[in-house]
Amino acid sequence: MYALVFCVVIQGIAMITVSLIAQNMKSGASFQRLLSQRHIPAGSEEQPSFRTYALDPPEGWDHGCFLTEVTERIWGRLHTYSWRVRVREQPSAPEQGEAPVLSGWMPHIILLVDDSQDMLASCGRSYEEDGLYLEKPGNEIIAVDQRDDVETSISTPEGTCFRGGWGNAWHQADDIYALGGSMQCWTHVISSLKKLIDDLDMCPIAVATVSGGIVRPFTTDRAALFSSLEELRPSYPESRLSEALLNALDAFPDQCGTSKHIILATNGIAVHDGNIPSWLQDYDGDGNPLDRAVDEAGSHCLDDVASYASTRQIHVHVVGPDTPFLQSTAANGGGDFMPDADSFDPPVSLVSLPRCLYGSQKHFLTNTELVFGPAWLDLENTSYMIRMANTPPHLAPAPDIRITGCARSVFTDDGTLLCSTSRDHLLSIDLATGACNWIAQGFGGKVVEQDGTIIIGPDIRGDIAALDSGQGIRWLYPGELFAVSRGNVYIARGPLISSLTLEEGVFTSGYTADSELCAITYDPCQGAVLAASKTGLISILDQDLVLEDLFIADLPGTIAHLRPFRWKRQFHVIAVTESHAACMNSEKALWSVALEAGTCISAVVMDLKLYLSVWESGACKGIDTGSSALVVLDALTGETVSRTPLFEAKAFGPLIDPDAGVLEYASWDMSIHETDITDLPGILPVGLGERMTYDPGDILP
């Protein structure tokens, strides 16, 4: 009996053991199969694939500058997920009317224009054959922007527009002083002065007339200078050249100028001139009997005053007919006859924008002798286009275009750099090779690109322009500020905002603020337009410009920056003026602070911190003087978190490089300051987990 029981027990144990072994074998086979599905076998040529998804930025991050990138890594059946912060658009400083200046190079130049009737006489030159000119009702002739509907001559509301070749035959100026040629002296000098203005970016220039003295104080505003020249009329019967030059010697500021220059634009014919101190009438000692006061034409005291000016370290240059008298006047004044930019020794190189980022490469946007022209830029196969002045708005090919002006605004996307200059040139550059694809003349201001449409402006005419990728003009619209959404452009002019369709420029809606607008931005996360007026009211508008909310920023000064973000699902806006910052939401104003010192240049919100670059300029406001700092504030309380010195000069930036984990600023001399931001959550990839994909048959053998 016991033997039988023992055998049954042994048999049961054996059966249980066999069952366990069989089950373990099944589990092992399934586990082996799962492992084989999870890991790619050694020697397999299969590589992981990636998919990325763009989402709104994390809470506490700037809506205009950032987004969240979720990455799915697929390798076999294994899907791994991570997220990180990506740059939607680099933060940019607001547009400035006045160009920056250098304290170490700040020549002050007075354009002294002879506005006498004699300037309508010929100057010894001919019109350029393919040039375009306009004869106004007052008979003065000026060079005008190109248009392609004029073969010889046409009538316009402004006057008669003609080609230079036609003008040489049919619009010849009176050759009163036997100088020859067909071009008016007025045409010659105004064109020459405009070219000088274009070539002398960052240079304070004043406009004066022989008849009335200073008509435009010193400024670097190109549009203001051009406007002053265009408003002049050669209508005065007298031309008191030496007297006007003598008066101009005292028109320079006592400080800040590194050199003083007067560019006298004249034909050299003085009328009722020479009423200056007797000791000055023959200051150069040439014994000319006409070095005296003359009631009619003929006084020759001009070269004597030029000699005197040189003893006061004021250089006198001359623009006008090529005559011995004007040549000697320039020589006596220590200046040049027909000066160009080289006459003023422009700085060899400088930057006025942060570096641009392409992959892991960073490029300086160098200005060489006041012209955008970095060493890496290749112009060999560039195509050139010029904006035509006739309607409808369009471009025409040009054989060549001479770039003028410093880099003013840039936008990068998919390896293409769009760069506008301060003299209304737009360049499209392949960052991989440095090759310039095309240059379009006639477009300036802030530049952005949205879905294949380039938006740029305002230019010197005050236009916002939309261009397609083939450099065709889609539309033009007058404005001072703009913001862009996926389908619309919002253009501010005075207190008005107009919504235009992105591609066609069709007006869809409008909004009128309480006063002139000073800042506008589009929030892609809220789908809202934020517009600040000079009274401190911030209008929150939907995409159809319907008012949704109104924030009150009780700040001194004019709002220059609007930085929206979310926290705990609530919409917040930070407004920044030159000297103050404030944060508010739909319920209340959270805080308002005065910056410790300096002017705010840029602002961006990252991880509930407001990063401000501030600059305390020197006495002359040169970008090469003063001190700049990075000030970090708590975005919810306004408390100062840190203050880091940047340069003994103005800081340009920031350039945000998440891959390198740095916040970068640049100085005018191409010095770099980097701040480590790798500790901010999301700058480095953050894991979200993983999952396996399989069929039910993959689990059981």
- What does the pLDDT read at residue 523? 98
Q: Are the beta carbons of 337 and 322 closer than 8 angstroms?
A: yes
- Spell out where 556-623 has E strands: 561-567, 570-576, 580-585, 589-594, 599-606, 609-616
143-184 tens-digit pLDDT: 999 999 999 999 999 999 999 999 999 999 999 999 999 999
Q: How confident is the model at residue 446 (pLDDT cuts 50, 70, 90)?
A: very high
Degrees, nearest 5: CA angle 451-462-435: 45
56-100 tens-digit pLDDT: 999 999 999 999 999 999 988 899 999 999 999 999 877 665 788
Q: How confident is the model at residue 700 (pLDDT cuts 50, 70, 90)?
A: very low
Considering the entire predicted model, what is its pTM?
A: 0.91
Q: What is the mean predicted confidence (pLDDT) over 379-385?
A: 96
**Pairing of β 463-468 and β 371-372:** unpaired
Range with the poorest average pLDDT among 42-46, 64-68, 627-631: 42-46
Cα gap 383→398, rounded to integer Å: 8
To the nearest 5 percent, what fractions of the chain are helix, strand and coil? 15, 40, 45
> What average pLDDT does the chain have?
93
221-262 tens-digit pLDDT: 999 999 999 999 999 999 999 999 999 999 999 999 999 999
Q: Are the beta carbons of 332 and 310 closer than 8 angstroms?
A: yes
pLDDT over 90 at 425, yes or no = yes
Q: Are the beta carbons of 88 and 524 closer than 8 angstroms?
A: yes
Cα gap 353→375, rounded to integer Å: 16
Q: Are the beta carbons of 148 and 388 closer than 8 angstroms?
A: yes
- What does the pLDDT read at residue 3? 61
| pLDDT, greater one: 401 or 16 | 401
Distances in whole angstroms, Cα of residue 664 to Cα of each of 101, 366, 626: 22, 17, 19
pLDDT over 60 at 406, yes or no = yes
Q: What is the mean predicted confidence (pLDDT) over 197-216?
A: 97
Q: How confident is the model at residue 597 (pLDDT cuts 50, 70, 90)?
A: confident
**Pairing of β 395-398 and β 383-387:** antiparallel
Percent of the chain with pLDDT over 90: 86
Placement of tokens 């039910």 in the chain: 696
Nearest to 162 by CA among 151, 172, 175: 151
**Pairing of β 107-113 and β 259-265:** parallel
Tokens of 301: 């005291």
Q: What is the DSSP letter of 193?
A: H
Q: Are the beta carbons of 316 and 323 closer than 8 angstroms?
A: no
Q: What is the mean predicted confidence (pLDDT) over 313-332?
A: 98
Q: Which long-range contacts (CB under 8 A, 24 or more apart) does 386-390 make?
A: 386/146, 386/440, 386/441, 386/442, 387/145, 387/440, 387/441, 387/442, 387/443, 387/473, 388/145, 388/146, 388/147, 388/148, 389/144, 389/145, 389/146, 389/147, 390/147, 390/148, 390/149
pLDDT over 70 at 400, yes or no = yes
Tokens of 382: 């560039």
**Pairing of β 488-493 and β 496-501:** antiparallel
For residue 307, give the H/E element and its range.
Answer: helix 302-311
